[in-house]
Amino acid sequence: MALVLFCKSDPSLGCLFSERTNVLFIVADDLRPSLGCYGDALVRSPNLDQLASRSQVFLNAYAQQAVCAPSRTSMLTSRRPDSTRLYDFSSYWRTHAGNYSTLPQHFRDSGYFSMSVGKVFHPGIASNHTDDYPYSWSIPAYHPASFTFEKKKMCKGEDGELHANLLCAVNVSEQPGGTLPDLESTDEAVRLLKSRAGRPEPFFLAVGFHKPHIPFRIPQEYLSLYPLDNMTLAPDPDVPKDLPPVAYNPWTDVRKREDVQKLNVSFPYGPIPKDFQLRLRQHYYASVSYMDAQVGRLLSALDELGLVKSTIVVFTSDHGWSLGEHGEWAKYSNFDVATRVPLIMFVPGVTADDNWLGEPTFPFIDALRQSQRSFQNARVIRNVVELVDVFPTVSTLAGLHTPHHCPQPSLQVELCTEGKNLAHTFVHQERGRNGELVAFSQYPRPADTPQENSDLPDLKDIKVMGYSMRNWDYRYTLWLGFDPSSFQVNLSDVHGGELYMLEDDPGEDNNVYSDFNHRVLMRKMDALPHNVSVQTRMKLQLHYLTAGMKTGGRTV
């Protein structure tokens, strides 16, 4: 199979290909950009680094909500959480919000054979207990049988008994069936690739890996890549003194694991003992390398089946994960460590001339240990992008009709996008950093102070919504009153604010929101028409704030 015509979907991009491409869409779970190709000097991720060296790499990509079901639904429908009306795990967007088309559905409706392996949509109510089949997939979605053991007592403790631990490196041969979920998912994905090779019908194969999501139930040999003596703590382990309490994530899912419960960590601020922090970070990194090895198996299969020259490869994650920064663990916040994700796109013949993804290193722990940490690639996009951009971008890259931008309101519009089409970045050079490009994330809270349900409040319990806007220079967040019965936000009911100057404070440790007089600003916002969106208002607010800085004042 040859490749696709950009000009069918957007004539301004030119005719780069001749026929349709396949798509291999890979999504990790809870993966922050802790990869060699993103500058992490500790992690061993040779397969993803090799893919990135022949791909376009988006350095500043952001999820729309740092929790699984809302983020995946948002990415796959290209609608923000306020449009899907999914902030928890307990509703199906087609019946709860609108009958929105999805990325795999768009490909299936365009003549592709679409397949899902592992965790792509969040299973359960959020995808109608079917992973949105038959809308999105040509065949029922595959889930590894061994995942049923993921939350059970599978981790051997120091007492020799099995526990439901956070840290859970195992001997795979001793696990039920002698396997683990991501091993099974990779086996099935390779089988499906083999079944589609040589067929005239193009395919869209989505593969969702469960790691590095907790518990860290991984093959024990991956720990050897990260000796504890080499591990370090987070550079900013303390809760920022000016952080509004509503912004804090008390990481209750981590606390529920048996080995963490034994630590008797105080609620809500902890901290976890430093020796356990080191082991936790060690297991997270080892989980990343284990997941990277499975990516290597997929890329190897593409190569062996002669599919590299006819397959777009997309790799991303649903959101990040805090590793002790700001005294937090897990996701559930608007900090960059929770919202920033890797986003890598390989387009054969466009991002790489030789179309070669390289030999995988997955079978060899020694090879992983000795892997190169250098990464060179001229195709790096530094400006801010979002996961809602993936749908229109991949559609254009594959030559499909590109969804139009959604009108307001768009509840009755089945196919549209609330993201940006990034396909032009593959043919036009990036023109420096663009502070006008922004990413929006949001997170719900049940109260102004950390509660047991602060991380995952049910819809009915949401009282505050934290809207966060990120550009190259700033991260600006407002925590606003929210009515879950009407899905309405009260723009004048401000429960807290955050403003970080990222050039001087890249770790978001110094909240300067209180340095500004916001009363004049709020009066200006109140004068705007009521139908102006939260996102537009925040853009204007940040404009007024930065204008005040440029004139030498700290007020607006």
Residues with catalytic annotation? 68, 122
- Determine the residue type at 460: K
Residues facing residue 384 across a β-bridge: 60
Distance in Å from the first CA to the final CA of the chain:
59
DSSP state string for 389-419: GHHHHHHHHTTPPPPPBPPSS-TT-SS-BSS
Other CB atoms within 10 A of residue 544 CB: 15
CB-based contacts of 547: which residues, under 8 Å, 6+ apart? 556
Taking the C-alpha atoms of residue 273 and residue 264, their distance in angstroms, rounded to an integer, is: 10
Taking the C-alpha atoms of residue 503 and residue 224, their distance in angstroms, rounded to an integer, is: 36
Selection from 432, 287, 289, 437 nearest residue 373 by Cα: 289
- State the angle between helix axes of 390-397 and 68-77 in degrees (0 to 180), rounded to the nearest 10: 40
Are 507 and 527 spatial neighbours (Cβ–Cβ below 8 Å)?
no
Q: With H, G, I as helix, E, B as strand and everything else as coil, classify residue 350.
A: coil
Q: With H, G, I as helix, E, B as strand and everything else as coil, classify residue 311.
A: strand
Residue identified by tokens 């009108």 is 407
Structure tokens at 500: 């970080």
